[in-house]
Amino acid sequence: MSRAVDARRVMERIDALASCSAEDGALTRIFLSPQHRAANKLVAGWMHEAGLEPRVDAIGNVVGRYEGMQAGLPCLILGSHLDTVRDAGRFDGMLGVVAAIECVAALHRAGERLPFAIEVIGFADEEGVRFQSTLLGSRAVAGTFDTELLKAVDADGIALADAMRSFGLDPARVHEAARRREDVLAYVELHIEQGPVLEREGLPVGIVTAINGAARYAVEIIGEAGHAGTVPMPNRRDALTAAAEAILAIERICRGQRDLTGTVGRIRALPGALNVIPGAAQFSIDVRSPDDAIRAAAESAIEDALDGICAVRGVQLRLNRLHASRATACADWLMEQLAAVIAARGLKVWRLSSGAGHDATAMRDLTDVAMLFIPCAGGISHNPRESAEVADIGVGCEVLLDFIRGFKPRNR
């Protein structure tokens, strides 16, 4: 009998997707780029081979449908994202898409049709690298995409609406990506843990209980540019030194509290010349916590600290809150079904929370969500050294396939 799932093929496909990159020798694939189009094409081909009917939806997600016992039944949605951070690892996101296709391929090969349909989605934007606002693909599907975002511009000044047009999409039709609640039974995502817990416990899979809430800001500090050799130190309104003090304040606030992280991942000084006092500094802030009250308090403390620093230094502060998502609880009834199939395989049932954000965060506005993690070496992620073992990928796919086969929709 042929193997139910082929973890090596999953690995080969993850490698193939890694070649769709904007950079030689590094993996960078951003939303609505030529590499996004190439990845969608590869994934659509694998979907077709696995018996799924593929299409690209109104925001650029690639969506494959495997009908149930009759056409048009409500569906279980599986998937993850196909975009990456800059100089990314190859598993974050892609694993969940390719693994889901592998599970459907196993059903298709066995001629199995279930009392519900399955859809696999490769979401177009989860990381939010291009337009700084995250989860654009899954928010469009969940029906929570804010059309104001169509005006957001990327680092080259290209508006999201124009980037969509260049990709062959019509921004006026973005609402067509949204799904109706009555057509969707649940959303389940397989992902690497991106942390150290499963590896430490020696476990191939874990069930996610909740996903951290998160907020993102774009900050601009406006000072005054001047000559590096002539303006006396006390007379300066240096935007970059103000930003440096602000960043240390963010670190101090977020370090002082359990269940809280704060990160400045991007900074730019303008005009950016060696002999010019920076007249402006732009940077990002990412704040996360599993507890929404802790995150809200940290955000207020950060805003107060930045206000104070800028007032003392005589510089102007512009704070733009780009994105916020509440902490996401995974659904008990889905976690129980995952636990049952893990236990039936003789594996220890381990539950853990997710510090990273996921498409499930947006999808929970549409339907109940659950996530399954597999370990990644050293917990390293958002880094080209990200890696996962083929054996763990195999267990992850098999657990997902068992779950799909036994899936009992909640009575509605």
- Contacts with ligand GLV by CB under 6 A lie at 127, 356-357
Of Mn ion, ligand GLV, none, which one sits near residue 193, judging by CB under 5 to 8 A according to partner kind?
none
- Residues that bind Mn ion (rule: CB under 5 A) add up to a total of 2
Least Å distance, CB 375 to ligand GLV, is 17
Q: What is the CA radius of gyration of the chain?
A: 23
Task: Please report, for residues 14, 146, 404, the alpha-carbon distance to residue 33 in angstroms, rounded to integers and kept in the order given.
Answer: 19, 21, 33
Minimum CB separation from Mn ion for residue 88, in Å?
A: 7
Q: How far is the CB of 28 from Mn ion (least distance, A)?
A: 13
C-alpha distances (whole Å) from 100 to each of 47, 108, 321 are 10, 12, 34
- Cβ neighbours for 196, distance < 8 A, ≥ 6 positions apart: 378, 379
> In the bound complex, what is the minimum distance in angstroms from residue 231's beta carbon to ligand GLV?
39
Cite the beta strand spans of 67-116 per DSSP E.
75-81
Residue for token pair 């391929």: 105
By beta-carbon proximity to Mn ion, the closer residue of 83 and 238 is: 83
Query: Among residues 65 and 288, whose Cβ is nearest to ligand GLV?
Result: 288
Q: Which does 60 bind (CB under 5 to 8 A by kind): ligand GLV, Mn ion, none?
A: none
Closest distance to ligand GLV from the beta carbon of 359 (Å): 9
> Which uninterrupted H or E stretch holds 288?
strand 280-289
CA 145 to chain CA centroid, nearest Å: 15
Closest CA to 18 of 79, 78, 95: 95
Length of the chain: 412
Give the nearest distance from C-beta 153 to ligand GLV in angstroms: 20
β-sheet bridge partners, residue 324: 215
Of the two residues 117 and 121, which places its CB atom closer to Mn ion in the complex? 121
Whichever of 57 and 127 has its CB closer to Mn ion, that residue is 127
In the chain the first and final C-alpha atoms are separated, in Å, by 38
Residue closest to 94 by CA, chosen among 4, 186, 23, 192: 192
Contacted entry of ligand GLV, Mn ion, none for residue 125, CB cut-off 5 to 8 Å set by kind? none
Our CB check for ligand GLV shows the closer of 316 and 383 to be 383
Considering the complex, what minimum distance in angstroms separates the CB of residue 358 from Mn ion?
6
Contact flag: residue 122 with Mn ion (CB under 5 A): no
Which residue from 9, 67, 96 is spatially nearest to 400, judged by alpha carbons? Answer: 96
Burial class (CB within 10 angstroms; exposed 0-12, middle 13-18, buried 19+) of 343: exposed
Picked from ligand GLV, Mn ion, none, the partner binding residue 195 (CB below 5 to 8 A depending on kind) is none
Cβ nearer to ligand GLV, comparing 65 with 216:
216
- Could you give the CA distance from residue 305 to residue 107 in angstroms, rounded to a whole number? 56
Specify the residue for token string 């995150």.
295
**Binds 357, which of Mn ion, ligand GLV, none (CB < 5 to 8 A, cut-off by type)?**
ligand GLV
> With contact defined as beta carbons under 8 Å apart, do 140 and 178 qualify?
yes
Residue 395 Cβ, how far from ligand GLV at the closest point, in Å? 23
In the block, tokens 């059309």 appear at 147
Interface map 81-110 toward Mn ion (x if CB under 5 A): -----------xx-----------------
Which candidate, 228, 255, 224, places its Cα nearest to that of 242? 224
Q: How far is the CB of 152 from ligand GLV (least distance, A)?
A: 17
Quick check: 408 and 226 in contact, CB under 8 A? no
Least gap, CB of 195 to Mn ion (angstroms): 12
- Facing residues of 97 across strands? none
* Residue with the two structure tokens 């060696």: 274
For residue 57, the SS3 value is coil
Residues that bind Mn ion (CB under 5 A): 92-93
